[in-house]
A and B are shown apart, each in its own frame.
Chain A
Amino acid sequence: MATKPKPKAKAVVDRAEALKQAVAAIEVMDATPEARARARKLMTENGDMWRASYEVADGALVVWIEAMQATGLTKELYTLECKRLKQELLTDKDGPLEKLLIGQVVLAWVRLMYIDQFYTAVFSGKEGVTFERGMFWERRLTLAQKRFDQATVSLARVRRLLQGPQAPKNLNLAIFNQQAVSSAYDRRR
């Protein structure tokens, strides 16, 4: 069943799509000197590219938090927690790309928490769960976990590439609500 996307979510998708298109249009993946020059040109000419990408990521975060079936206070706490996580993940050596990837890690974490909350509610409900419904939430949780893993690996990898051997080897995942993250993983084993 397809529903009309909410205006805020649609705005986020449109802006993300536009940025993606702009990057795809210059075809840089062959990494030739010309492609490198095209990439540099695009980045110089679009100085607000980073700002736009932060806005897209922040917009997505707001949409997820607003969609939560929780009180205003809980939503506010989630917003503050996201801010804290971003600050804790940021190091002095991080540039704009790392900052964007930190936003992705936090977004993936919120998504994982949200899906895990419903997964737990569905599977611990007294009325039981149908196979189809169970599969739906199982798939959603798997995807959310995969995205969280990918986001953390991306950040660690980019740091290692851009900051060299001095970059922290591991991401300090202890700053996340570790219990919640590990229970989301353990619950399905």
Chain B
Amino acid sequence: MGWETRKGGCYYYTKERIGSRVVSQYVRSLETAVLLDSFRKEIREEREIERASKAAYRAEVEALDAMSDEVFEMAQSLTNLTLIALGFHRHKRTWRRKRDGDETQT
């Protein structure tokens, strides 16, 4: 869509998809063409800005998620440390403690 040079002249065309075909439509009036062109440019710029802000926002959410994961992993490490210090051990992915020959497990 936009200005096209045909047979030495500069003409403004809009493009529209009809089914599987793309149809070019000539915009006759010069004023309308200039106005339409600037209007389309604005829309394009707005879309670009919106796309960039969405990407930035997604990156922010990913950073927040990464931060949370780090905190969860820290808590997990401290949990493991505490349980080991208190005499627990891991057996087949469950924590157990030997207590007078009796085993507590979760």
Write the residues of chain A forming the contact surface with B, with a CB cutoff of 8 angstroms: 1-3, 5-6, 9, 12-13, 16-17, 19-20, 23-24, 26, 28-29, 31, 35-36, 39-40, 42-43, 49, 53, 56-57, 60, 63-64, 67, 97, 100-101, 103-104, 107-108, 111, 115, 118, 133, 136, 140, 143-144, 147, 150-151, 154, 157-158, 160-162, 164
Contacts and interface: CB of A to CB of B under 8 A. Distances in A.
Given A101-B79, A111-B68, A39 B85 contact: yes
A54 to B, nearest CB: 10
A31 B85 CA distance: 8
A40 B85 CA distance: 5
B65 A28 contact: no
B78 A64 contact: no
Given A6-B63, A12-B70, A29-B90, A157 B95 contact: yes
Contact of A13 (B56, B59, B67): B67
A43 B86 CA distance: 11
A153 to B, nearest CB: 10
Contact of B79 (A9, A107, A158): A158
A31 B97 CA distance: 11
Interface of B: 54-56, 58-61, 63-90, 95, 97, 104, 106
Contact of B68 (A36, A40, A60, A118): A60
Interface of B is mostly: helix
A60 B71 contact: yes
B78 A31 contact: no
B68 A140 contact: no
B40 to A, nearest CB: 18
Nearest to B89: A31
B68 A1 contact: no
Contacts of B82: 39, 43, 97
28 contacts: A5-B67, A12-B67, A19-B77, A20-B70, A20-B77, A23-B77, A23-B78, A23-B80, A28-B80, A28-B81, A28-B84, A29-B84, A36-B84, A42-B81, A64-B64, A64-B68, A67-B64, A100-B79, A104-B72, A104-B75, A107-B72, A118-B61, A140-B65, A143-B65, A147-B72, A150-B72, A162-B86, A164-B104
